[in-house]
Structure 1
């Protein structure tokens, strides 16, 4: 089932410096008269009053009102000649519907989709996605989108999607339990292990919650530790170079994950635990820590109300002394423009308004619907304290470089299947770290042979 909403409202202007105006006009080949008209209207491809229709497909509940839909309303208030139609699809219908529609020339002008291997790569290869790199450079997106995200939304020097819905993972913890047991925030790996032991002695059977029965929460730890040991460059060297997943860094990282499990940090049998139950028990004060993402904060507020102030978060300490903290970061969505759309400048202008305008970024943050890419300005944003703390953790260490929060979203599905099953086997003592990484490498090689992996990315602005 899908739902269409035609949003037709009216819009004013957004201020623009002359430098940005000239950069934009030069990059897009606009003449002096077009540049002059830009002063009164950000939509630089639309002649006076020319009606422009633009359709957007995205996943969501029919009729949903979100920060995104409200920002689209604002865009059209400032551009009354642009009529944007939002079409919402259930998650089970979006992917099967998109490709046939694009192939038939009936697809959307903009759509929100995945950025990993598989369908996105097929869409790009078929020529359906517009190269956004001219706008990336001319509109200053290159100054906001982190290089690590650009690398995974581009190939052949071309940007295919605007990354969005940034997701990260941190260690959430119960401040009250820590204080009652004389614990501070661990800043070294030894201190984290000591905290596990202290909490076990205090009667907490599972110091760090882990829903191992669901498999994917173990892969969050895999992503974190593999990234911490190899660093951003080491991960990219495997993804896009001649590196291997069975290198010593990944073996050691997997051994460190098993060390946590064998020490009882994940409880007596994490493989029998369901993640939703683990997170619910965390909010009830039965589990002191859980490594997950900020999406749990909303349910937490629902569960404990003002008691949310008893909770906070910290970055997992470096597993190797003296190494940097690399925050985890991945995007949940990429925004594509149809290469056949006759008003690409309008589509780019809309993306610029939605994802790079300060007011839009603030609205998305405050709504809890979305975390924009790049450094976050938290000074004027009204958010629960715990949310601000989580975002501040990423901001604080982002200059070190970022690593993947979810390797399973950027590696081939066949490799993910092997990783999920293998991680459970490692924790169960049925597979060694060496055998696990060798199995993952074999799956990686097979997927690469079938061209199921991401191509090297990166965009250079002159």
Structure 2
């Protein structure tokens, strides 16, 4: 629980909140007469309406079971706070490959789903990503990645192809700039998004760079050393991209960046695949495609992936059969098809057809062998959020040497405490 409390604080929690149900403004009833009500903490707020539809279908088929979906805007912070105070939902969506959620598994909070037949509905590689100490605590539904959304109409207006290499990307930025167009939407006010971008880019430069982070964290080594210069390369690449972004990027959050992008203010938007739902909600007919972030070191391209949607249930729920039944229902191909079509994150459920054209290229590459599990899954819990603070400072002062010093300090601190 101490680890979870620290993770909650690292996510920006100032004080403990009430129960998860308090976040929706309503009262949670666990067991009404003749029926069962299960709290379902759903991490992806942008998928709330889709799960409302799925829940309605489940409740129609199972009239004795009610599902109370909890999906606040700052979902991860609320979730970690509630878990740290012992307010555990019956069903929960988590990111099972990340250290924070592995801590939850270690605490015995989540039920062991190893050997459950429902796991056969998912691709074996996705189930493998969910393993922790030889056990599986979650059912995977979708994988995410990170890249650049491109407005294809704006690219065509400038006679540009979508970028495949770093040189292509910079050339596109320069072409848009010459035409008086700011090239890239950046939501740098959101420290989590900024940390995600940095973490993904450094992984693209070197897929197994987590080994170097551990070396720096547990020895006298430093990222200023010439033989482990990957953090410097990443920092310089992010600064280069910001030359072609809005000057006030640190004042722009995700909602504003999305709005500006769909209104054709920028031709490109650096984001995760999960950002598509908000884009299509605002502009369903937008002609766009996501492309992988090219390797700034100019070497072979590889794609960062993570388990983005995975459901498990509480080890102490009073209604384990009903909780598992809901997860099994969500894993039916015809039900997951609803999520895949309307939320858009690339699915791993067998028998589901993927129709999301803007992510077709990413889905294709995610099925290939040039992928790597994102680095946050190897880092101590909370380290990425802490690292995002000097990352924002880097964008202000552009002092790469100071950023490297701060990176060394944070990495050594977290590895020492882990």
The TM-score range, normalised by the shorter chain, is: 0.7 to 0.9
| Whole-angstrom CA distance in 1 between matches of 2:308 and 2:222 | 24
1:2 aligned counterpart, secondary structure: coil
The 5 Å alignment of 1:18-37 reads none
Answer yes or no: is the 8 Å Cα contact 1:144–1:373 preserved in 2: no
CA shift, 1:399, in A, is 1.8
Q: 1:270 aligns with which of 222, 236, 249?
A: 249
- Please tell me whether residue 58 in structure 1 is matched to residue 41 in structure 2: yes
C-alpha spacing 1:155/1:296, structure 2 compared with 1 (3 Å): closer
Answer yes or no: is the 8 Å Cα contact 2:330–2:336 preserved in 1: yes
Q: 1:402 aligns with which of 336, 357, 371?
A: 371
CA shift, 1:279, in A, is 2.7
Q: 2:195 aligns with which of 219, 227, 234?
A: 219
Q: Which runs of 5+ in 1 are unaligned?
A: 9-50, 452-462
CA shift, 1:229, in A, is 0.9
Q: 2:313 aligns with which of 318, 326, 337?
A: 337
Partner residue of 1:157? 134
- Please tell me whether residue 251 in structure 1 is matched to residue 218 in structure 2: no
- Please tell me whether residue 88 in structure 1 is matched to residue 69 in structure 2: yes
CA shift, 1:282, in A, is 2.0
CA shift, 1:222, in A, is 0.8
| Whole-angstrom CA distance in 2 between matches of 1:111 and 1:358 | 20
| Whole-angstrom CA distance in 1 between matches of 2:42 and 2:365 | 32
Q: 1:112 aligns with which of 93, 108, 111?
A: 93
- Please tell me whether residue 428 in structure 1 is matched to residue 403 in structure 2: no
- Please tell me whether residue 292 in structure 1 is matched to residue 271 in structure 2: yes
- Deviation string 1:311-366 (CA, Å, 9 cap, x unpaired) is 3332223333341331x3334454232224577566445423313x2112211112
C-alpha spacing 1:346/1:122, structure 2 compared with 1 (3 Å): same
Cα root mean square deviation, aligned: 4.1
Partner residue of 1:442? 409
Q: Which runs of 5+ in 2 are unaligned?
A: 1-24
- Deviation string 1:200-243 (CA, Å, 9 cap, x unpaired) is 11111x21121323334432431231111111x33377579989
Number of residues of Structure 1 aligned to a counterpart in Structure 2: 381
Answer yes or no: is the 8 Å Cα contact 2:37–2:66 preserved in 1: yes
C-alpha spacing 1:283/1:268, structure 2 compared with 1 (3 Å): same
| Whole-angstrom CA distance in 1 between matches of 2:271 and 2:119 | 36
2:150 aligned counterpart, secondary structure: strand
Q: 2:206 aligns with which of 223, 226, 230?
A: 230
Answer yes or no: is the 8 Å Cα contact 1:219–1:407 preserved in 2: no
Partner residue of 2:338? 363
2:266 aligned counterpart, secondary structure: coil
| Whole-angstrom CA distance in 1 between matches of 2:378 and 2:66 | 29
Answer yes or no: is the 8 Å Cα contact 1:423–1:436 preserved in 2: yes
Answer yes or no: is the 8 Å Cα contact 1:186–1:195 preserved in 2: yes
2:116 aligned counterpart, secondary structure: helix
| Whole-angstrom CA distance in 1 between matches of 2:52 and 2:284 | 28
C-alpha spacing 1:377/1:178, structure 2 compared with 1 (3 Å): farther
Q: Over alpha carbons, which structure has the higher Rg?
A: 1
Moved more, 65-74 or 274-283: 65-74
2:413 aligned counterpart, secondary structure: helix
Partner residue of 1:2? 26
- Please tell me whether residue 199 in structure 1 is matched to residue 176 in structure 2: yes
C-alpha spacing 1:84/1:303, structure 2 compared with 1 (3 Å): closer
C-alpha spacing 1:60/1:2, structure 2 compared with 1 (3 Å): farther
CA shift, 1:141, in A, is 4.2
Answer yes or no: is the 8 Å Cα contact 2:35–2:66 preserved in 1: no
- Please tell me whether residue 374 in structure 1 is matched to residue 342 in structure 2: no
C-alpha spacing 1:375/1:224, structure 2 compared with 1 (3 Å): farther
| Whole-angstrom CA distance in 2 between matches of 1:99 and 1:349 | 26
